[in-house]
Structure 1
Amino acid sequence: MTVTNDVRLEQGLRAAMGNLVAGLNVVTTSAGAAPHGTTVSGVMSLSMDPPMVLVSLGVRSRLLARLELGTRIGVNVLAADQDQVALRFSGSAADRFADIPWFEDHGAPRIVDAHAWVAADVESLVPGGDHVIVLGRVVDAVASPGAPLSYHQRTFGTHHPF
């Protein structure tokens, strides 16, 4: 494959994946007595027996650097009005939790008013290209009413049933 084809493939893949509607989540952990988190769209239910979730983190993720087998993580499924939370945790702020209401729940930071919450223990870290797939065994899960925050073609939105 030539460089031109590589660029075309990358551009095509970015455009195609931009057409997927993704939920926005902040994945968190506590390390060194401090909370850590990052915005992630790659989250999904993996298994009900045993209860597991899958989280995709970039290999250069500061959060990934704090994870090892057995580490407790939190998956904060963001609510429709939490676009500023998504932006904060996707940026380079030194203290991403500044001015974001949160509390410790099952050993991981839980963002107040998130649409849903899942606490899980890292069971496996699987390389996947420029990402690592984090497989987590769920220890707690809570859903809230309302609408989730979504991301499509580089814009925020939400789901409206029809």
Structure 2
Amino acid sequence: MSTTTVEELVDEDIFREAMGNICTPVAVVTARDSRGQPYGTTVSAFCSLSLAPPMILIALDRGSGLLSVVRESGVFGVNILSTDAEDAGKKFARKGKGDFTSTEWHWHDGVPRLASNTFFRCTTAGLLDGGDHVIVTGLVHAVGLGEGAPLTYHQRTFGTHAAVSGTPGR
């Protein structure tokens, strides 16, 4: 029987396929660049990190222009899209600053807030190397709660959460 060693890593394509089997919220991270312009990108790595203090975690590609903006400004927003915002999820997934011209948004304490289900305004608490990404931890200073169902991404398809029968709600 063979044992996997640290040197033996799984094939990148298999890893990508396995990760596609995990349902994730569609989140758009936003910030304000040094010229006062909005900047945003869709991310697949977002989660709660801590309750005391309230913190979240995101991962940004090393080549992302947004990473430079977040490093410089130290402030960012995380917009969890609702099911009616699939177009925004796709538009912000493209390279560049994000398409704010055809997306409903406003400034919220210095960061762009999209018309989204839930919103977090954060200051950067730390940056950690994570392969081809940088893990950004954020202290949460403001939260906007939404009422709609969150947009999710699973097996390269947008969808939403559905409760399993018999599971208690809120």
Same fold (TM over 0.5): yes
- Alignment of 1:126 onto 2:117: no
Unpaired segments of 5 or more residues in structure 2? 1-7, 165-170
Aligned length: 156
Counterpart of 1:98?
Answer: 101
Show CA shifts across 1:76-101 (max 9, x none).
00001111000100113665111111
Highest CA radius of gyration, 1 or 2? 2
Any idea what SS the aligned residue of 1:81 has? helix
TM-score when scaled to structure 1? 0.90
Show CA shifts across 1:95-134 (max 9, x none).
511111110002110002x010000001111110000000
Counterpart of 2:89?
Answer: 86
- Alignment of 1:160 onto 2:162: yes
Any idea what SS the aligned residue of 1:12 has? helix
In structure 2, relative to structure 1, the CA distance for the partners of 1:73 and 1:94 (3 Å cut) is closer
| Identity percentage of aligned residues | 38
Counterpart of 2:150?
Answer: 148
- Give, in whole Å, the separation in 2 of the partners of 1:59 and 1:108: 21
Counterpart of 1:62?
Answer: 65
In structure 2, relative to structure 1, the CA distance for the partners of 1:72 and 1:159 (3 Å cut) is same
As a proportion of its length, which structure holds more strand?
1
Counterpart of 2:78?
Answer: 75
How far did 1:9 drift? 1.2
Letter of the 1:22 counterpart:
T
Q: Which runs of 4+ in 1 moved over 2 A?
A: 92-95
- Give, in whole Å, the separation in 2 of the partners of 1:161 and 1:106: 34
Unpaired segments of 5 or more residues in structure 1? none
- Give, in whole Å, the separation in 1 of the partners of 2:23 and 2:132: 21
